[in-house]
Amino acid sequence: MTRHLENDAGASSSRPRKGSADTTIRVRRLRLYPLKGGRGFDVDQMAFDSAGPVHDRRWMAVHPDGHFITQREEPRLATIGARILPDGVGLSAPGLDPISVKVPPGSGFPVQVWTSTVDAAPAGPDADAWITELFGYPARLAHLPQSSVRPTNPAFAPGGRVTFADGYPALVITAASFAELERRADTPLEIERFRPNIIVGPTRPHAEDRWRGMSIGAMDFRGVKLCARCKVTTLDQATGERHPGNEPLKTLARYRNIEGKLFFGLNVTHAGEGSISVGDPVTVTERGSVPIG
């Protein structure tokens, strides 16, 4: 059964009402995820290179054959904390001593993310042993060097590139969309379950469904595809434990369902390099239907 997405995105709430406070849409939070599937953290400023947010999803756990590992199959990824070091990344997890991993030289390790294969660099035996001990089965850690180019899906974002993220450089969610979801679910949730990079507001719920173009601070972004959600959203991003009521998917299925896919958030690409900061104004420059894929 095909359903239309319910939203309230027909008008922008950035138009101030008489006597109201400033309702300019602004960046509320910015989040980085150095390790794909690992725990994220908030930052005040986010720099972008040609592939996406700097330091975001440049590391990835893989099977020995190079096939990617995500929270879909390995919830313990959510328990791995990551911090940026001058020469690499620091990883921590319950029950293990923390480890510092330097950015490895070169590449020569082909890894697979969904249907794409990209040349990565092996992080080394110490990192492999650490993540193998955590998972309880053989695994390796890979790093994406700047010289390796993984293209975005040409059907939605021709000519772009992306890191180890699922498909596109960054994910935008409005705070109002999450508030509406939480209201409908009638249970406390955490926006971190959706692993957004950029959280903005105030807006109407699901206004981002129709943001084909926007500027954030001095940078320009394109809304290229609504984000279909999976069981990762049912995992507590602090513990890796699954929600007993299958939320938020249960609620999304009631009002954000098109042909069996559940949509929440907007995948975006960016023009050139630059940086954005918490508090930056967000201006919607083009509205229209954004593909769902």
Predicted TM-score (pTM) of the model is 0.93
> Over 50: is that where the pLDDT of 9 sits?
no
- In whole angstroms, give the CA distance from residue 282 to residue 13: 12
Half-sphere exposure of 41 (CA within 13 A, CB side): 11
Distance of alpha carbon 52 from alpha carbon 54, whole angstroms: 6
> How far apart are alpha carbons 174 and 228 in whole angstroms?
16
Q: What pLDDT, on a 0 to 100 scale, did the predictor assign at position 6?
A: 66
User: In the predicted model, what is the mean pLDDT of residues 193-215?
Assistant: 98
Q: What is the pLDDT of residue 143?
A: 98
pLDDT of residue 21: 66
pLDDT in tens, 176-202: 999 999 999 999 999 999 999 999 999
Between CA 188 and CA 243 the distance in angstroms is: 11
pLDDT band of residue 3 (cuts 50, 70, 90) is very low
DSSP, residue by residue, the chain? ---PPP---SS-TTSPPTTPPP---EEEEEEE-SBTTS--EEESEEEEETTEETTTT-EEEE-TTSBB--TTT-GGGGG-EEEEETTEEEEE-TTS--EEEEPPSS--EEEEETTEEEEEEE--HHHHHHHHHHHTS--EEEE--TT--EEPPTTTSTT-EE-SSSSSSEEEEEHHHHHHHHHHHTS---GGGG--SEEEES--TTGGGGEEEEEETTEEEEEEEEEE--GGGGB-TTT-PBPTT-TTHHHHHHHSEETTEEEEEEEEEESSSEEEETT-BEEEEEESPPP--
Whole-angstrom Cα distance, residue 107 to residue 122?
7
- Extract the tokens encoding 193: 């379950």
Strands 150-151 and 161-162: antiparallel
Contact yes or no for 198/172 (Cβ under 8 A): yes
Per-residue pLDDT averaged across 126-139, rounded?
A: 98
Mean pLDDT of 244-266: 97
Distance CA 53, CA 46 (A): 6
Q: First vs last Cα of the chain: how many Å apart?
A: 17
Nearest to 277 by CA among 40, 43, 83, 23: 43
Residue 23 is predicted with a pLDDT of 86
Structure-block tokens of residue 31: 């989040």
Q: Structural domains in the chain?
A: 26-287 (2.40.33.20)
